[in-house]
A and B are shown apart, each in its own frame.
Chain A
Amino acid sequence: MRRIIAVLLENEAGALSRVVGLFAQRNYNIETLTVAPTEDPTLSRLTLTTEGDDGKIEQITKHLNRLIEVVRVFDLTEGDHLEREIMMIKVRADGATRAEVKRTTDIFRGQIVDVNQNTYTIQLVGPSGKLAAFIDALDRNQVVEVVRSGVSGIGRGDRILSL
C-alpha cells in the first residue's frame, strides 16, 4: 500500500542525509520526497511516499523516530488528509495539436505558464493520480519534458502535526 509520511526534523545540516540514508540502509523504498523549512525556521518538514504493508510502515516510522534529529513522524495515510503535487510539463503544441492540448489542459484545470511557437508549458496541481492521468491523456509523443515536485501532504481538520 502507498503511504504518505510526514516528518518534522531539526533544520540542521546533515539531518536530511540521515533520513535518506536510513531508507537505503534498511532497504526501504522512497518514491517521492519533498523537504523545506516550516514557519519555524529551526524545523524542516519533509513529506515522503513509500510502499509497504503495516509491518513495514511501522518499522519505518519507528526507525525514523529513532533518528536524533527527527522531532515528529506522522503517517498521513492513516486518516483523512490532503495530498498535493505540482507538475510542470512541456508539451509539443504546433499546428493542429495546439488547440487540443489547450482543451485537455482546461479539462484538468491546468494553467499554461509558458508558450512559444512549438511548445506549451503547463502547470498542474493535484494528487499524484491526477497528474498521472493528465500525462496519460496526452499523446506520449507530444510530451517533451516533465518535472514533478513530489508529494506534500497535510492532515484534514484537527489532524495536526506540530511540535
Chain B
Amino acid sequence: MTERLSGGDMLIRALHDEGVEYIFGYPGGAALHIYDAIFRQQEIEHILVRHEQAATHMADGYARATGRPGVVLVTSGPGATNAITGIATAYMDSTPIVVISGQVPTDLIGTDAFQETDMVGISRPVVKHSFLVRAASEIPDVVKKAFYIAASGRPGPVVIDVPKDTTDPNERYEYNYPAEVSLRSYKPSSGGHVGQIRNAVRALSEARRPVIYTGGGVVQGEASAELVAVARKLGYPVTNTLMGLGAFPGDDPQFLGMLGMHGTYEANCAMHHADLIFAVGARFDDRVTNNPAKFCPEARIIHVDVDPASIAKIIDVDIPIVGHCKVVLAEILAVLETEIADTLDNADDVTAWWQRIDRWRAEHGLDHDQSERRGAGGSLLPQQVVQAVYRATGGDAYVTSDVGQHQMFAAQYYRFPEPRRWINSGGLGTMGFGFPAAMGVQFAFPDKTVVCITGEGSFMMNMQELSTCMQYSLPIKIINLNNQALGMVKQWQDMQYAGRHSQSTYRDALPDFSQMVASFGHVGIKVTTLEELNSVVPDIFGDRYRNDLVFLDAHIDPDEHVYPMSIKGGALKDMVLGKEEPT
C-alpha cells in the first residue's frame, strides 16, 4: 500500500530517496511547512547556515568534493535572492546543486505578496533548469527530474520553486518515488563518434609538438584515471586549467602546471608553440586563451567535451568530439593500445619537444622552495605560506580558495595529487566562496583535512559562517593570506593604472582576526615572519588542533604580485615574469 504524505513530507522523503545526507538551508515563512517536515524526520541532517549565499557555496563544495549533488533550502524573496550568487557560481563551474526555494502560495503569485520574488525568472540565466511546482502531487517527479538534470551531462544547478500551498500539511497524496526518469527533450551524450576517435588517434600519433590540455570536465566527469592512462601511453606533456587541477598529478614531471593568465611559463609556451592541442573537458575560457586571434597559431585542435555548445565557441576546432570525457578517453585509449606500436614514429620529435619544454621550465618555471626569499622589510611571502601548508599536509588536503592573489598562489604552489581536491570558483570568480565551500567539504568528509586558502577581503564576505562552524564543530583550517588589501585589484592597478590604488586598500580598518575567531570559540594564530610560520604550521595540521577550527592570519608582504601574468591582448606566450623583467 502506498503511503499518503503531505507535499512537505513528500519533498523531504524524495530527497531521502535520492540519497541526500545534508540540506544546507535557512528558514522563513514560505518554507515553514517544509521545515516542519524536516523536524519530523531523522534521516536527513539540516545544516543551519548564517546566510543563504553561504548555503549554496556549502552545497557546491560538497558537490565538488563528492561528485554528488549538494542540496540547498531557502525561503522565498530575500532567501531566494541571497542564493543567486551561489547558483551562478555553480552554473559557471558546471557543478550539480539542487536549490529548493519556498514561494508564496500559488494564489498570491503575481500580486507582489510579502516576500514574493519571481525565483524562476531571476535565476533563469544561471540555472541548467528550473521548476515551479504546480501541484503537490508532482513533487516526487520534479525532485527526480531535478537531480537527474543537475548531475547528468554537463552538470549544473537546478532550482525547484515550491509555493507554500503545495506543501500544506493537511493535504495528503499517494507517495511514489519514480525509479527512473526519461525526458524526450534531454538526452546527454556519452561515447564519442567512432570516426572522430580514429581521427583523433591519428592526429595524436602524428604530432610533433603535442600538448594535452584538460579542464574541469575531466574532474567533474571522473575521467582522471583515463586521462593519466592516455597521457602515460603517449608520454606527452599535460597542462590543466584552474578548474582542472588535480586531474593529473601535480608533482609529476609530465605535468607542466596550470596554463593561462597566471599559468606557468612552460605551460603557456608549450601551448603557444604546439602543433597539436588535445583539449579535454576544457572550454577555452578567455583567462586561458588570452587573445583568441593569437591563440596557438600552429596547432591543430582536438576538442572533447560533453557539451556541444562548448566546442568551437571561442576557437575553431579541427577534430570535435562530443561525448563524456571518461568514455571518450577510454575509447581513445583502447584504439591507442590496439593500433599503435609501443614506440610512436614521432618519438624523436617528442623527445626534442620535451627538451625545449625542459629549457623553458629551467629558465622561468615556478620555484617550489622559496624559503630563502624574504619580502620587503624581511616580511613573509604568500608563496612560502602555501608551500608550508603543502608540506605539512603532504599534499593530501582538500583545499578550497577564494578569489584574488591568494587563489593564484594556492593554484600555483599546492600541487594536487588527485582530482576533486582543489575547489575554487574559477568561472564566476566569487569572493566569499572558499570558506563555506570548505564547510561543505568537511561535512562530506569529517575525517579529512580541509583547508581554505583565502584572503582577508574574500574571507570577510562570508565570515558570519564562523558561527555555523561553532555550532557544528567543523575543524577547518583557514589560511588567511593577509595583505591588508584587495591584492589582485591592487596588482592590476600597479600594472595598468600607474599604481593608483583606487578603493583597493583598507589597512586601518581590519579586525584582529585572531581575536575575532576566538570570540566564536575557534583558534586564531597570527604570524608575520617565515620563522613564526614554520613553527606553527606543523601544529595546525597535527594532533593538537585536530578538532579545532584554526584561523592562521598570515601577514604577508602587501606588495607581492602574482607572476607570470599574461600581457593583455597578447598570445599565450606573452607574459610578464616579474616586477623587474617584462618579457
Chain B residue nearest to A25 in the complex (CB): B125
Q: B306-317 CB contact bits vs A (8 Å, 1 = yes)?
A: 011100110000
Chain A residue nearest to B121 in the complex (CB): A17
* B132 engages A13 (CB within 8 Å): yes
Chain A residue nearest to B309 in the complex (CB): A62
* A71 engages B185 (CB within 8 Å): yes
User: CB within 8 A of A21: which of B125, B184, B186?
Assistant: B125
Bound: A41/B368 CA distance, A: 64
Q: Is B124 an interface residue (CB 8 A)?
A: yes
Q: Is the interface of A mostly helix, strand, loop or mixed?
A: helix
* A14 engages B120 (CB within 8 Å): yes
* B309 engages A59 (CB within 8 Å): yes
Bound: A22/B19 CA distance, A: 33
Q: Is A87 an interface residue (CB 8 A)?
A: no
Q: Is B1 an interface residue (CB 8 A)?
A: no
A55-B129 in contact given A68-B185, A68-B186 (Cβ < 8 Å): no
Query: Considering residues A9, A55, A68, A163, which has the most beta carbons from chain B within 10 angstroms of its beta carbon?
Result: A68
Interface residues of A (CB under 8 A from B): 9-10, 13-14, 17-18, 21, 25, 55, 58-59, 62-63, 65-66, 68-71, 163
* B132 engages A55 (CB within 8 Å): no
* B149 engages A63 (CB within 8 Å): no
Bound: A69/B61 CA distance, A: 28
Bound: A40/B72 CA distance, A: 36
Interface residues of B (CB under 8 A from A): 120-121, 124-125, 128-130, 132, 134, 149, 183-186, 307-309, 312-313
Tell me which residues across on chain B come within 8 A of A17, comparing CB atoms.
121, 124
* A18 engages B185 (CB within 8 Å): no
Bound: A71/B187 CA distance, A: 10
User: CB within 8 A of A14: which of B128, B132, B308, B309?
Assistant: B132
* A68 engages B183 (CB within 8 Å): yes
Q: How far is the CB of A62 from chain B (nearest CB, A)?
A: 4
Chain A residue nearest to B184 in the complex (CB): A71
Bound: A71/B183 CA distance, A: 9
Bound: A9/B132 CA distance, A: 17
Bound: A10/B184 CA distance, A: 9
Q: How far is the CB of B522 from chain A (nearest CB, A)?
A: 41
Bound: A66/B121 CA distance, A: 18
Bound: A30/B58 CA distance, A: 38
A58-B312 in contact given A14-B120, A14-B132, A25-B125 (Cβ < 8 Å): yes
The 4 A-B residue pairs with the shortest CB-CB distance, nearest first, are A62-B309, A71-B185, A68-B129, A25-B125
Q: How far is the CB of A104 from chain B (nearest CB, A)?
A: 45
Chain A residue nearest to B313 in the complex (CB): A59
Bound: A163/B187 CA distance, A: 13
